[in-house]
Chain A
Amino acid sequence: MTAQWRMANGEWRMDFAGPAIRHSLLAIRHSAVVLLTLVIAFAPAHAVEPGEMLKDPALEARARKLSQELRCVVCQNQSIDDSNAPLAHDLRVIVRERLAAGDSDAQVLAFVEARYGEFVLLRPRLKPQTMLLWLAPLLLLGGAAIFLLRTRFRAIDAGREVAPLSPHEQRRLDDLLNTDGRSK
């Protein structure tokens, strides 16, 4: 259910049920209706709650940065920093607990990954299955460079070399010259 209506002081009021709203909106986001219009229909996103924040601003800043690297695994393509699903809340709390306990950033990520699987990492780890993913830009750039060097720039020294005439062109040139000679 989304937000509830309830009677209060004799009038109907909205009761915004926090995470519940977000869940139903996410469902809608990926139902056909929204996708069809080619937009991303994120639900209104306001993630970090005042109560979750750490007192130490440096630690809190690290927590925010790490939150952007972790996926809210029940959401579609949202980090736990963007989502207010209950699971994202739990993960944010876990991240802050680990940081408060003195973990390094890498340790926090490893901790969460051990519990939720690699799917939770928005930055995939470099391993045989993701090699192609990470190397794709470099491979493509390299391929393009090799192709260009081999084909276009090889014999082209600023256009000084002129390609030899093909037999067809030679014949045509002869024809033209001959015609020219006759007309004079």
Chain B
Amino acid sequence: MIIELGHFAVMLALVVALVQMALPAWGARIGDARLMQVAEPAALAQLVLLATAFLALTYAYITSDFSVENVWANSHSDKPLLYRISGVWGNHEGSMLLWVLMLALFGAAVALFGSNLPATLRANVLAVQAGIGVAFLVFIVFASNPFARIPVQPEGRGLNPVLQDPALAFHPPFLYAGYVGLSVAFAFAVAALIEGRTDAAWARWVRPWTLAAWMCLTLGVAMGSWWAYYELGWGGWWFWDPVENASFMPWLAATALLHSALVMEKREALKVWTILLAILAFSLSLVGTFLVRSGILTSVHAFAVDPRRGVFILAILVVLIGGALALYAWRAPQLRQGGLFAPISREGALVLNNVLLTVACATVFVGTLYPLALESLTGDKISVGPPYFNSTFGPLMVPLLLAMPFGPFLAWKRGDLLGATQRLLASALITLLALTVALALYWRGPWLAPFGIALGVWVVAGALGEWAARVKLFAAPARESAHRALGLPRAAYGAMLGHAGVGIAVVGMIATTAWQSEVVLAMKPGERGEIAGYTFTFRGATPGHGPNYQEQTGLLIVTRGGAPVTVLGPSKRLYEVPRQSTTEAAIHAFWSGDLYAVLGDELADGGFVVRVYFNPLVRLIWLGAIVMALGGTLSLSDRRLRIGAPRRARRAAVAAPAPAE
């Protein structure tokens, strides 16, 4: 009964979305306020309906209702409660339901918090949002029904054990919130094109939504990487896998969008570009969804064998992206360009940021899709792997990171590069110091690594230097500095933390990539090995069991200079349903890095393969992501974004034919 209610709610949501798509847009066109006002209650109704549907499916999972095909295929009554819940989105149908629920959530948020938007803009934005909703609800209702019933089964088929993990339980919701959050920017862009005008106010309304989506993406991507790090068992944290790239491309585009919207808000420049970027960012989310869902990544042939869903999503892609780009091609030339600026200026720096981020994003895109395209065009099979991405994406990041600290020191319109350099002197000295220390410690090589570390330190020191300059640290009495520090807007702190987070993550990435050490040994109980100054003694492996798995746990005693340090218990698990094994690495975190142990195969002579890694500073990668997200939160909580948002009605009267400068 509850299941049928959920099914019905999805269908009703489709009807509501159709109404929300048609009436407000028509109302905005003919200037009928009552038609436009339909959008708001419709958006809220969609949220209620889809939340009902989602809860209904969750209920089926919690109660292990194996008369529902989706539950039967993806759950098991032995699973802990957390993974029964996360199982809801651990499969195709359920994750699509989560996708539209997120969409409805953002739509309702625009309806609720968008009271300062002009009526027509709000109506058009919500109509475009509903249009996206219609596409995906049609997909769910006709090709991907999570509520399909089957004859009751005694037991479910279980969830893939590698997915039974706390980080992975929350990874998809964050990622989806990010993907779908970009739909708001997309809807704003399309609405602006429909209305044929954009201005600083538009950018100011779009920024908080983009920021929220960007934060969710940051956390979602970081969580996926963190999971890969400890679950896959060899300390890797990024693989340039197409599925990872699918989530990374929208992140790059969203980062670029955040910065170009800033130029548009402050200086009315880059309008046409910002609109395009907003369309592209969400398009990349859709492409990511298509890549992951259609099975095309496995192989072009797998896609051709069962193309029903893939073709459906491809059609959605073509209509949404193609439609938006066509609208753009038609309307964008009519948008007025504003705000002239010199190459060396805050705007110039942000343009550089956009060029590099967009080219980097395009490079990832080309690298991910090239093998697919080449194979379908010529039949040639090539591989584009990490070596390609490292040697193309990496060099693009170097100028970006080098330039990053300069941006905030340059004035709008026309900046003073020499002045900025002088004000960055202290940061440069710190960087030089870090470089010297790194070179002295690791003079044996790899010789590029210390420069990479210095680059990360430069970005962090630059962010701190900006703060120091703005509060006049040491240049003014301490009292005044403290007063200034309190007076700085939260958005300024947000930007600094965002930049510092990038630097922190870069240090972690370089350090662990360049200086990871590894020991692989066949060990019998009592034997010992050494890594990074630590001695570990293997004490054998003991069997044990958890709620739905059997395991073998190794015991490693770690000492340093004879003094006990820690005990590591890496294990390998065999899950009962489905019958699969996983490794559970044992990780001990020091300030200097992670000691990471994995239990390998049992050997014929009773010994075990034991792998121990030392990953220096690896945690900085995720710490950096957390700092970035924290910066986003601070920026989002800045009251200027909420209260100070300018009202267009007042501006429109004067702004229309204002000269460009």
In this assembly, does A14 line the interface, its C-beta being within 8 Å of a C-beta of chain B? Answer: yes
Q: How far is the CB of A150 from chain B (nearest CB, A)?
A: 13
Select which of A2, A46, A50 is within 8 A of B234 by beta carbon. A46
User: Please, how many angstroms separate the alpha-carbon atoms of A157 and B414 in the complex?
Assistant: 10
In this assembly, does B110 line the interface, its C-beta being within 8 Å of a C-beta of chain A? Answer: no
Q: Are A37 and B242 in contact (CB under 8 A)?
A: no
Given A14-B552, A16-B602: A137 and B520 interface contact (C-beta under 8 Å): no
Q: Are A35 and B293 in contact (CB under 8 A)?
A: yes
Q: Are B602 and A46 in contact (CB under 8 A)?
A: no
Given A30-B298, A40-B243, A42-B228: A2 and B579 interface contact (C-beta under 8 Å): yes
Q: Are B396 and A137 in contact (CB under 8 A)?
A: yes
In this assembly, does A33 line the interface, its C-beta being within 8 Å of a C-beta of chain B? Answer: yes
Report B356-380 CB contacts with A as 1/0, cut-off 8 Å: 0011101100110010001000101
In this assembly, does A100 line the interface, its C-beta being within 8 Å of a C-beta of chain B? Answer: no
Q: Are A122 and B342 in contact (CB under 8 A)?
A: no
Q: Are B342 and A32 in contact (CB under 8 A)?
A: no
User: Please, how many angstroms separate the alpha-carbon atoms of A44 and B243 in the complex?
Assistant: 17
Residues of B with C-beta under 8 A to A3: 574, 579, 581
Q: Are A36 and B95 in contact (CB under 8 A)?
A: yes
Residues of B with C-beta under 8 A to A21: 580-581
Given A35-B293, A39-B227: A46 and B598 interface contact (C-beta under 8 Å): yes
In this assembly, does B163 line the interface, its C-beta being within 8 Å of a C-beta of chain A? Answer: yes
A-B CB contacts (within 8 Å), total count: 238
Residues of B with C-beta under 8 A to A168: 657
Select which of B163, B386, B583 is within 8 A of A122 by beta carbon. B386
Q: How far is the CB of A95 from chain B (nearest CB, A)?
A: 15
Residues of B with C-beta under 8 A to A121: 382-383
Q: Are B580 and A24 in contact (CB under 8 A)?
A: yes
Q: Are B520 and A136 in contact (CB under 8 A)?
A: no
Select which of A79, A119, A159 is within 8 A of B340 by beta carbon. A159
Residues of A with C-beta under 8 A to B163: 33-34, 37, 39, 41
Q: Are A165 and B659 in contact (CB under 8 A)?
A: yes
Select which of B234, B241, B543, B552 is within 8 A of A40 by beta carbon. B241
Given A32-B295, A37-B168, A159-B340: A45 and B579 interface contact (C-beta under 8 Å): no
Q: Are A38 and B228 in contact (CB under 8 A)?
A: no
Residues of B with C-beta under 8 A to A41: 160, 162-163
In this assembly, does A107 line the interface, its C-beta being within 8 Å of a C-beta of chain B? Answer: no
Given A32-B92, A129-B380: A16 and B172 interface contact (C-beta under 8 Å): no
Q: Are B172 and A141 in contact (CB under 8 A)?
A: no
User: Please, how many angstroms separate the alpha-carbon atoms of A10 and B136 in the complex?
Assistant: 54
Q: Are A159 and B95 in contact (CB under 8 A)?
A: no
In this assembly, does A89 line the interface, its C-beta being within 8 Å of a C-beta of chain B? Answer: no
Residues of B with C-beta under 8 A to A79: 385-386
In this assembly, does A49 line the interface, its C-beta being within 8 Å of a C-beta of chain B? Answer: yes
In the complex, which residues 58-95 of chain A have their Cβ closer than 8 Å to any Cβ of chain B?
A: 68-69, 71, 76-77, 79, 82
Q: How far is the CB of B84 from chain A (nearest CB, A)?
A: 15
In this assembly, does A120 line the interface, its C-beta being within 8 Å of a C-beta of chain B? Answer: yes
Q: Are A71 and B385 in contact (CB under 8 A)?
A: yes
In this assembly, does B343 line the interface, its C-beta being within 8 Å of a C-beta of chain A? Answer: yes
Residues of A with C-beta under 8 A to B600: 46
Q: Which residue of A lies closest to B579 (CB)?
A: A2
In the complex, which residues 607-661 of chain B have their Cβ closer than 8 Å to any Cβ of chain A?
A: 609, 611, 657, 659-661
Q: Are B363 and A136 in contact (CB under 8 A)?
A: yes
User: Please, how many angstroms separate the alpha-carbon atoms of A34 and B580 in the complex?
Assistant: 13
Q: Are A46 and B583 in contact (CB under 8 A)?
A: yes
Given A28-B580, A49-B609, A133-B366: A44 and B232 interface contact (C-beta under 8 Å): yes
Q: Are A44 and B581 in contact (CB under 8 A)?
A: yes
In this assembly, does B153 line the interface, its C-beta being within 8 Å of a C-beta of chain A? Answer: no
The number of chain B residues with a CB under 8 A from chain A is 90
Residues of A with C-beta under 8 A to B522: 50-51
Q: Which residue of A lies closest to B221 (CB)?
A: A38
Q: Are A123 and B224 in contact (CB under 8 A)?
A: no
Q: Are A35 and B91 in contact (CB under 8 A)?
A: no
Residues of A with C-beta under 8 A to B160: 28, 33-34, 41
Q: Are B90 and A36 in contact (CB under 8 A)?
A: yes
User: Please, how many angstroms separate the alpha-carbon atoms of A141 and B243 in the complex?
Assistant: 26
In the complex, which residues 539-593 of chain B have their Cβ closer than 8 Å to any Cβ of chain A?
A: 543, 550, 552, 572, 574, 578-583
Residues of A with C-beta under 8 A to B363: 136-137, 140
In this assembly, does A169 line the interface, its C-beta being within 8 Å of a C-beta of chain B? Answer: yes
User: Please, how many angstroms separate the alpha-carbon atoms of A3 and B340 in the complex?
Assistant: 66
Q: Are A46 and B233 in contact (CB under 8 A)?
A: yes
In this assembly, does A144 line the interface, its C-beta being within 8 Å of a C-beta of chain B? Answer: yes
Q: Which residue of B lies closest to A147 (CB)?
A: B355
Select which of B341, B543, B581 is within 8 A of A159 by beta carbon. B341
Q: Are A141 and B355 in contact (CB under 8 A)?
A: yes
Q: Are B387 and A137 in contact (CB under 8 A)?
A: no
Report B140-164 CB contacts with A as 1/0, cut-off 8 Å: 0000000000000000000110110
User: Please, how many angstroms separate the alpha-carbon atoms of A151 and B383 in the complex?
Assistant: 38
Given A36-B90, A37-B89, A172-B657: A69 and B387 interface contact (C-beta under 8 Å): yes
Q: Are B232 and A42 in contact (CB under 8 A)?
A: yes
Q: Are A39 and B243 in contact (CB under 8 A)?
A: yes
Residues of A with C-beta under 8 A to B659: 162-163, 165, 169
Residues of A with C-beta under 8 A to B413: 158-159
Residues of A with C-beta under 8 A to B395: 137
Q: Which residue of B lies closest to A117 (CB)?
A: B381
In this assembly, does A53 line the interface, its C-beta being within 8 Å of a C-beta of chain B? Answer: yes
Q: Are A144 and B359 in contact (CB under 8 A)?
A: yes
User: Please, how many angstroms separate the alpha-carbon atoms of A140 and B396 in the complex?
Assistant: 11
In this assembly, does B78 line the interface, its C-beta being within 8 Å of a C-beta of chain A? Answer: no
The residue in A69, A77, A120, A145 that gathers the most chain B C-beta atoms within 10 A of its C-beta is A77
User: Please, how many angstroms separate the alpha-carbon atoms of A148 and B162 in the complex?
Assistant: 48
Q: Are B392 and A82 in contact (CB under 8 A)?
A: no
Q: Which residue of A lies closest to B167 (CB)?
A: A39
Select which of B175, B243, B609 is within 8 A of A35 by beta carbon. B243
Q: Are A40 and B244 in contact (CB under 8 A)?
A: yes
Q: How far is the CB of A45 from chain B (nearest CB, A)?
A: 5
Given A118-B382, A133-B384: A163 and B661 interface contact (C-beta under 8 Å): yes
Q: How far is the CB of A50 from chain B (nearest CB, A)?
A: 4
Select which of B95, B247, B355, B366 is within 8 A of A136 by beta carbon. B366
Select which of B89, B292, B385, B414 is within 8 A of A123 by beta carbon. B385
- Other than the given A37-B90, A41-B162, A162-B661, 15 more pairs (CB < 8 A) read A2-B580, A28-B578, A33-B163, A34-B160, A36-B91, A38-B172, A38-B175, A39-B243, A45-B234, A50-B609, A119-B381, A122-B383, A130-B382, A140-B363, A152-B341
List the 5 closest A-B pairs by CB distance, nearest first.
Answer: A122-B385, A44-B583, A123-B387, A158-B342, A44-B233
Between A and B, 7 residue pairs with Cβ closer than 8 Å are: A3-B579, A16-B602, A40-B243, A71-B383, A77-B383, A124-B388, A159-B342
